[in-house]
Amino acid sequence: MATDTGPADETFDYVIVGGGAAGAILAARLSEDAATSVCLLEAGPRDWHPYLHMPAGYIKSVFNPTYAWQFSSEPDPLTLGRRIPLPQGKVLGGSTSINGLVYNRGQREDFDGWAAMGNPGWGYADVLPYFRRNERREFGDAALRGREGPQHVSDIAWSHPIAERFIDGAVGLGMPRNPDYNGASQAGVGYFQRTIHGRWRMSTARTYLWPARRRSNLSIRTNARATRIVFEGRRATGVRYARGASLATARTVAARREVIVCCGALNTPRLLQLSGVGPAALLSELGIPVVHDLPGVGANLSDHFSVRIVRGVKGIATINELSRMPRLAGQVARWVLGKPSILALSPSLVHWFWQSRAGLDRPDLQGVFTPASYREGYVGMLDTFPGMTCGVWPHRPFSRGTVRAASADPFADPRVQPNYLGDPRDAEMLLGGMRLARRLLNTPELAAFGTTESLPGPQVNTDDEMLDFARRYGVSSYHVNGTARMGPADDPMAVVDARLRVHGVAGLRVVDASVMPAIPSANTAASTMMIAEKAADLIRDRDREAA
């Protein structure tokens, strides 16, 4: 059997592991200096397939093992023993190449909360310049929104009468219409902003790596799966990686300055653990030599657990009909011609951010609406009948889970235990959200179009019945984070410091959603891109210039 050892084959200043939302940005930013050499290792392929660039291609890519890690949760009585899918991007651009395209920063209190947890430099005023540096958007307050960044953020060009009626109904229930939830306030209802330009998905591979890929000081290696970080004592000196699923192909690339792990909230803690950085008891159990006992690696996992309410529609064609022939042919033609089309849509059209109960000072719920019926238990998978769907999840869940390496085998999937609804407060918020979603689907404005509720159905009414439905059919929103969280050295569960350096070792940083100290009130792609932009300055000691 081949062993995972060997001398370095090449040396670079920086070795970045993972070419996703964060890794692609870091590779592009660090290689701006022609005197700095960068090697980017990505376990998946290049982003050449057309589905990765067509927004509606999400349906074809998110469950495709070529482009996404097909992870799932461990069975849990809290969700009736189900294995819940947790796909993660495995292609250049990572999850920004396969996700639902929503651009959502969160609330300013989220980041002020990060700073209050002992992370100086991560308050809202500190991170706003990096959100703006990342973003290219024509509309919104120029003091808050970026105009010249690489990442295109656009409004939805295609609408539907039912979506307009839904928004009108939400306004009638007291929600303000909010044209820019990434601006001064998140609260309200309106259309989503997406990482789309014209008819194309704008992944970080396309916006950052494509312009940088011909630089002589940047080496991009795809189908290169990291098997462990190489240490000399407690200093990270390189990365061992394999081409294919065998250690016989393994090679070592050395880092003069730093190894930077950007593998995402499930793969990052697994790689650290496989490399000897993590809870000593777990590493000993797996037979992995301990480099540094760091109990927080793989802890603090957080995610958005979502439930969808579905109601039938009459009298008008929904996305369900438009996605089938012969109408689909017309939508394809419109997309090819650059006209508004369902092929340039994200899975959700409308957002609503609101409170699960009276007396709260900011939204604790995120909701989505689409004029389509979706199969319950599957994200983005259309059902066969015309309908409309309103999904909801608690913004800032209290439940925390874990991710653990299953064995010392670097090709084994991690064991992921999200512990959805483990905290009773999450169940309370979700119940409030489900009842509000029902009200939103039954406003007078939608009465002319709505028929019977199909999910959970009119027979489901009590709190116990609603929660049973949530446990039976609820799904991940694919916003896992926090598994290598940021915090001060005196916090025993912190993994990285405020400069994203791993505690207790040298030459090693983590830059991805793993480092989030607490889940933002948002989809996580925008925050992850911000983290990468800020990390590029931290690594180059330029952070004071951006303030």
3-state secondary structure 140-172: CCCCCCCCCCCEECEECCCCCHHHHHHHHHHHH
pTM of the model: 0.96
Give residue limits of the domains in the chain.
Answer: 1-152+202-303+400-420+478-547, 157-191+305-396+421-473
What is the pLDDT confidence band of residue 325, given thresholds at 50, 70 and 90?
A: confident
pLDDT at 7 over 70: no
157-191+305-396+421-473: CATH number: 3.30.410.40
What's the confidence (pLDDT) of residue 119? 99
pLDDT in tens, 285-324: 999 999 999 999 999 999 999 999 999 999 999 988 888 8
Helix (H) or strand (E) holding 265: helix 264-274
377-412 burial code (b ≥16 CB/10 A, e <16): eebbebbeebbbbbbbbbbbbebbbbbbbebbebee
What's the confidence (pLDDT) of residue 247? 85
What's the confidence (pLDDT) of residue 381? 74
What's the confidence (pLDDT) of residue 383? 85
- Which of 310, 259, 251 has the alpha carbon at shortest distance from 510? 259
β-bridge pairing 305-313 and 475-476: antiparallel
What's the confidence (pLDDT) of residue 2? 39
- Which of 392, 337, 386, 385 has the alpha carbon at shortest distance from 369? 392
What's the confidence (pLDDT) of residue 100? 94
More confident residue, 275 or 335: 275
- Which of 456, 278, 307 has the alpha carbon at shortest distance from 367? 307
Find out whether 500 and 108 touch, Cβ atoms under 8 Å. Answer: no
What is the pLDDT confidence band of residue 547, given thresholds at 50, 70 and 90?
A: very low
Q: Identical fold at 1-152+202-303+400-420+478-547 and 157-191+305-396+421-473?
A: no
Percent of the chain with pLDDT over 90: 86
- Which of 197, 73, 82 has the alpha carbon at shortest distance from 469? 82
442: buried, middle or exposed (CB in 10 Å: 19+, 13-18, 0-12)?
A: middle
Catalytic entry in 53, 160, 395, 479: 479
Which architecture does CATH list for 1-152+202-303+400-420+478-547? 3-Layer(bba) Sandwich (3.50)
What is the pLDDT confidence band of residue 3, given thresholds at 50, 70 and 90?
A: very low
Is the dihedral angle over the CA atoms 335, 339, 341, 344 positive or is it negative? positive
Find out whether 488 and 497 touch, Cβ atoms under 8 Å. Answer: yes
Active site residue 479: yes
DSSP 8-state code for residue 395: S
